[in-house]
Structure 1
Amino acid sequence: MNDRTGSDGVTVVVGAGKGIGRAVATTLARSGASLALLDIDRDRLAETAKLVASRCETHVVDIRDAAAVADAVDGVESGMGPIDALAHVAGILSTDAILDSDDSDWRKTYDVNVFGLVNVLKSIGRAMRERRRGSIVVVGSNAAGIPRMSMGAYGSSKAAATMITRTLGLELARYGIRTNIVAPGSTDTDMQRSMWADPDDDRHAEPVIRGDLATFKSGIPLGRLAAAEDIADAVEFLLSDHARHITMQSLYVDGGATLRS
């Protein structure tokens, strides 16, 4: 028994191959979780598995494929046991002005960030509903709650993901199942660095921290980018019994960047 979910079931981490997903996997492993790690990238998934010092198995899955997601979930439950916790971290970034963006970019962003999420929630949520127990955390973005220039597709997909997760929480509350969102701000990951002119130059973090009046983007009051582990700690808390009376909430982990009331 552990205080993560109040059971000895399996925790699924979707998007475990790198960045926040990898940090979530390693953080949960330290708490003794039995982990099933899902990602589309086989090599990165194998790298994460090497870092996880607890019982785990890996599944290479494209979450856009509902049948493949269902097969993976069935494989986890038959091979490891019932899934009692889900940390959904998978997502992709698109950065184009709305009027100059390609329709294909919107479709790809929504296919992963919205429909891929729904595929995962359906497969795992139905199993949790049947057993009347479980906890779900979806990693979203603070871009879901505040407009960001050149992030129309990404921000709106994360806003959709947030409402889907909250609505699911309302539907599952009667079964004792909680769903919550962790909304990171700028976090030191490959995704963040992909927006820099030189991903290897740490000096590009400075304007992110300061903010940019020209693009109406506030800085980060705490004066630092988040580390992936900062986000993972919030995910671990919301999955755990320490958060047993918290559901349908969005926890912003952004150093105060969105100045939310």
Structure 2
Amino acid sequence: MEFKDRTALVTGAAQGIGEAVARALAARGARVAGLDANEERLSGVMDDLGARGHRAAAFPVDVADSQAVERAVDRAERALGPIEMLVNVAGVLRMGQAVALSDEDWERTFAVNTRGVFHVSRAVARRMIPRRSGAIVTVGSNAARTPRMHMAAYAASKAAVTMFTKCLGLELAEHDIRCNVVSPGSTDTPMQRALWADDRGAQAVIAGSLAAFRLGIPLNRIATPGDVADAVLFLLSDRARHITMHDLCVDGGATLGA
């Protein structure tokens, strides 16, 4: 898959899956606009890509701020050219029993995970429509398919954004713009590692937990960010030119194909 001289915008590009997607796109010739609220880490990633000979630029922004998003997208297009590919990765995780979640936990989760995807997708899609071309991939979660203990806000936000992306794909199909979802399971990222009690955290995830009503991972391995990035790049590529409104689950079989 090659993306030479095509511009991609990636949110959550400062670390984890977003960083892996940004690096994979750059390695295949894309110009990369990275968005993230963590300005320091984002600049480090984009500067490193530049040092490796790639065209990349950092646009620090909180995707929950719609006006800031609009400005960032405008700056990205002026700096790198028309955005042909969008990958929504930015997300937060607030854990806790549903009855114990604070208003701020719930609202911040939806502000980033759901409204953020809406803000960025709207800003980019409005520019794609007159060009009659584009591909959008939203990174959701297999938690949108299967209930998870202590993850009510996260799972609900991901379920909402999955359906939003499918509806967007239906509306944009007439403009030759494809919209798909990649739903990872447990992936070795800073967000995942923050949930581990010790260095055997990955093994515990792979094994599953009857007490938490959580299946293990049949493939007996935890995903890497690169595993998810590979799925994202496929859906962005011309190899997926007849695929839209699809939700591709990348979880090693943890949800048994649900």
- TM-score under structure 1 length normalisation: 0.95
- Is the 2:16–2:225 Cα contact (8 Å) retained in structure 1? yes
17, 20, 25: which one pairs with 1:23? Answer: 20
243, 246, 253: which one pairs with 1:246? Answer: 243
Give the structure 1 partner of residue 97 of structure 2: 97
Give the structure 1 partner of residue 127 of structure 2: 127
- Is the 1:17–1:39 Cα contact (8 Å) retained in structure 2? yes
CA RMSD of aligned residues (A): 1.2
| Alignment partners' CA distance in 1, 2:117 and 2:88 | 8
Residue 9 of structure 1 pairs with residue 6 of structure 2? yes
Give the structure 2 partner of residue 107 of structure 1: 107
Give the structure 2 partner of residue 206 of structure 1: 203
218, 225, 230: which one pairs with 2:227? Answer: 230
Give the structure 1 partner of residue 45 of structure 2: 48
Give the structure 1 partner of residue 152 of structure 2: 152
| Alignment partners' CA distance in 2, 1:223 and 1:249 | 25
Give the structure 1 partner of residue 142 of structure 2: 142
Q: Secondary structure at the match of 1:99?
A: helix
- Is the 2:5–2:29 Cα contact (8 Å) retained in structure 1? no
Paired residues for 1:162-173 under 5 Å: 162-173=162-173
- Is the 2:6–2:29 Cα contact (8 Å) retained in structure 1? no
| Alignment partners' CA distance in 1, 2:193 and 2:251 | 16
Q: Secondary structure at the match of 1:58?
A: strand
The structural deviation recorded for 1:3 is: 4.1
After TM superposition, the runs of 4+ consecutive aligned structure 1 residues lying more than 4 A away are none
| Alignment partners' CA distance in 1, 2:37 and 2:130 | 28
| Alignment partners' CA distance in 2, 1:8 and 1:128 | 16
The structural deviation recorded for 1:89 is: 0.5
Give the structure 1 partner of residue 257 of structure 2: 260
The structural deviation recorded for 1:127 is: 0.4
| Alignment partners' CA distance in 1, 2:154 and 2:61 | 22
5+ long unaligned stretches in structure 2: none
Give the structure 2 partner of residue 187 of structure 1: 187
The structural deviation recorded for 1:102 is: 1.1
Give the structure 2 partner of residue 33 of structure 1: 30
| Alignment partners' CA distance in 2, 1:256 and 1:197 | 24
**Matched length:** 255
- Is the 1:26–1:51 Cα contact (8 Å) retained in structure 2? no
Give CA deviations for 1:128-154 in whole Å, capped at 9, x if unaligned. 112110000010100001100111000
Identity between Structure 1 and Structure 2 (%): 52
